[in-house]
Amino acid sequence: MHISEGILSAPVLLTGATLTVIGTGIGLKKTDYEKVPEVAVLSSVFFVASLIHVPLGPTSVHLILNGLLGLLLGWSAFPAILVALFLQAILFQFGGLTTLGVNTINMALPAVACYFAFGKAVTSEKNWAVIGGAFCCGFLSVGLSGLLVALSLLFTGQSFLNVARLILLAHLPVMIIEGVITVFVVKFLKKVKPEILEVANAAN
């Protein structure tokens, strides 16, 4: 879902950069010093997971795991995703520095939104609530990211309409895969270290 440089219009780039600055500011304010190592590790997970790209026009399809980051970090997902995308841009030319703000908001905003929507469900004692909440978080976070990418292109110009549709369709399999991955990770954490999920919800 990395949008390359030279594609988006200036208003879209400015809007994305502004929203990313706001989200990152909130994330940094809510990140305790003790939580920094966790943010760094999960930023690395996001960095590695999204390295394998399948090119798709001006963007690409790959694992994102932003829903999982949202569940574990809350607002701290903003700085975690920003750092990972910045390193990908300067090291591998995925996306770009001018589109860093848009790419960050497209992935971090759904992460935080899904955290608030499903964060309580994954800490429930009811197994069906944990599985349902985790799957929906992984599934919808990718879907919302795909939608934001499509909207970024559409607000740049109607000529991107077909590409926007293709992006949404291409990410349907990724949505299902990420939903399943999120369920497995959450279930594992519930068994070995449930306090990670509890602390994440308490901190935000």
Strand 59-61 relative to strand 54-56: parallel, antiparallel, unpaired? antiparallel
Query: Going along the chain, which residue ranges are E strands?
Result: 54-56, 59-61
Q: Provide the pLDDT for residue 55.
A: 62
The answer to whether 187 and 68 are in contact (CB under 8 A) is no
Q: Provide the pLDDT for residue 60.
A: 58
Model pLDDT for residues 31-81, shown as the tens digit of each residue: 888 889 889 999 998 888 877 666 655 555 678 889 999 999 999 999 999
Closest CA to 88 of 174, 4, 178, 172: 4
Q: 């990770």: which residue's tokens? A: 185
Q: Domains of the chain by range and CATH? A: 10-203 (1.10.1760.20)
Q: For the chain, which residues score pLDDT lower than 70?
A: 1, 52-61, 199-204
Q: How far apart (Å, rounded) are the C-alpha atoms in residues 48 and 102?
A: 20
The answer to whether 199 and 125 are in contact (CB under 8 A) is no
